[in-house]
Structure 1
Amino acid sequence: MGDLPVRAAVKVDVEKTEIREFERPRIGADDGLLRVEASGVGGSDPEMYRKPDSAPCIMGHENVGMVEALGENAARRWGLKPGDRIALHEYLPCWHCHWCRQGDFRLCMEADFFNVKDQFNTLRYGTCNADHAPHLWGGNAHYMYLAPNAVIHRIPADMDARHATLAVPLGNGVQWAVLDGGAGLGKTVLVYGPGQQGLGCALAAKAAGAAKVILCGMTRDRARLDLAPRLGADIAVDVEQEDLEAIVMRETGGRGVDVVVDTTGDPTGAIAAQAVALAAKGAWLNLNGLRQQIPIGEIKKRYLTVRAPRGHSYRSVELALQLIGSGRWPVDLLCSHDFGLDQVHDAILATAGRGMEGAIHVTVSPWRDA
């Protein structure tokens, strides 16, 4: 097994990828090997692709595949056998801290990007240094290494692999809109940004029982806004052509919304200010970006709960997989484009809106053209 090479698409420079071969790992008692069926291109991947100090790297952190090989201890620990199909988190956490024991691996000190000093040299699927043996740390490859501390979800044998790659972005939607955002029965919800994360938030909020979901974006997002009503949104607003504040107040009888989720990153802080203005008393705000400033006086006056989106928990991804497998939602509409291993560069640029139009959730299927 160890002599057979593995093909992988490796980021070697800023927005430059080439195909390289790596030795196939020898699997011991505690680890395994995954035959990658599909890898989703995340919304953060174009930014990662532009970073100057993050090569060499095998990108791809929304990964689905079939267990190819498994050590005895790993099989017992994960309850798996070769041939089982799984979806992976990107996190490679410690498994013994307070947060890991709750399934909140995003907050583990060994997995949290805000705590680690060197993100590129921190082991995490899809973003770490490919020089670290056994090298196969990303889904843009024929095979991936299953580390002993991997976070794994079993998926049904008949689940479409491209649909299953939505487990992470839709898991973010469940986490941000529902578990952290408070969307639920009878709530009114406003979501900023109609990308894969925003559409995931809209779907999760409606699935949780929200009475009304308003999703907003820009004119360039027209195709996504048109798709939104089929994926949980009751109203889709082009903020460059329509008055969002007037629509929100009309739809809520002047009270404001119960939940706000920003998936855009809000580089100027303008969304945060507007979110406060559109929030009902007692609303929950899940606000993105690092430049937002909300006066404590406004939080007190309106009795707001303010959080920030921070990845996903085990529970949120498991719930996302249940939504995907339910057949209730046309998730295939999210899976807009698929590329082979030799087209990873094009796949990442498509996610950034470059090279082709209409991309929502882009996937790489490494064996497609093999």
Structure 2
Amino acid sequence: MTIKSEIKKSILAALWFMFLTFPIMVIRVNTVENIVQWRWINMAFVGAGSFFFSMLWRYMIKQKSMKAKKEAIDKLSFVQKISQKKKIFIPLMILLGCFILAFPHLFSMYQTNIMISALIYVMLGLGLNIVIGLAGLLDLGYVAFFAVGAYSYALLNYHYGLIFWIALPLGGILALIFGVILGYPVLRLRGDYLAIVTLGFGEIIRLVLENWNDFSFGPSGIANIPKPPLFGVDLSLSGSIIYLYYIIVGLVIFTIFVINRLENSRIGRAWIALKDDEIACQAMGIDKAKTKLRAFGLGAMWAGMGGVIFAAKTTFINPASFTIWESVIILCTVVLGGMGSITGVISGALLLILLPEYLRAFAEFRMIIFGAVLVLMMVFRPGGIIKNVRKTYKFQKT
């Protein structure tokens, strides 16, 4: 395709965009003086900007196709290449570890609080990555298990006085049970049908929590949820935030370790086989029902523990915190970061949670910028920020 034809298409796109925005950008009615103002200079800016961005878009699409050909030859991503070079990888991990440990002492409490929220979503994204990224089961009701974990801590503490450290594993176990309960009815479903059923399950949990006043206190929610104790020592507000930060960092590291081990285990390979082809997976002797239930249960368990952390952080929860949009955001962290990729999911969660916060300076434009970033990522990196590359095993002759 010649440059002349590209310019012609960009001019047509600019003219069409000028026509669409004409009533908004050019005509302005002054109701005080009863006159109509014609702002033609705005039309010139719209035309020039549309032409420039159209040309840039076409150039980037062309570069993407050329890059795809190169990636077909060299499948390893930049992160995977770095991880194979121990002389670079180990010092980088040491520096990253030092930065993570020093983060609450280098930045304000507000920044630490935001980072705690981001790390909770990292944990949720890694849990959902088991269900979607590894097993290929589209779950749109994942926030239900998040709610189960949060309410389990709040209610167990309110009625029985259980502390955070006892409620943390209990919240995970209860969410795992709910994950298995959800898994049984949907064993024969996949694709869009599975997504609709899981979506309905998430809404059922939210509506039960909102309307069952005797059990969950309804829309009023539960307040005064205690923060994690430190050997009976009363911590200040800043001290409790720093302590909670280190707890979630430890849980994220534990989650990464466990999920990495699961991915490379017999169960993980069964999940990947199930994702690729259910019929072939079953023909190879893998129990499809057990494999799906394990994925739903283990994925839900991390959401439950994340819910306990969320309840301890906010000290107040109500059903409005667990809407379908939370499920969508968690799903976006997995898809945007890279399905099946642990590093990708972490980067996707950090980007999705931190970017809107740091764009608050742009006021009403921040969500437009945020949406534009998502669109660009899905067009130019459909595999995610760091897409997963399946490991290959070679037999060496001795």
Fold shared per TM-score above 0.5:
no
- State the structure with more CA Rg: 2
**Structure number having the greater strand percentage:** 1
TM-score, structure 2 as length reference: 0.27
Higher relative contact order (CA 8 A, sep 6+): 2
**Structure number having the greater helix percentage:** 2
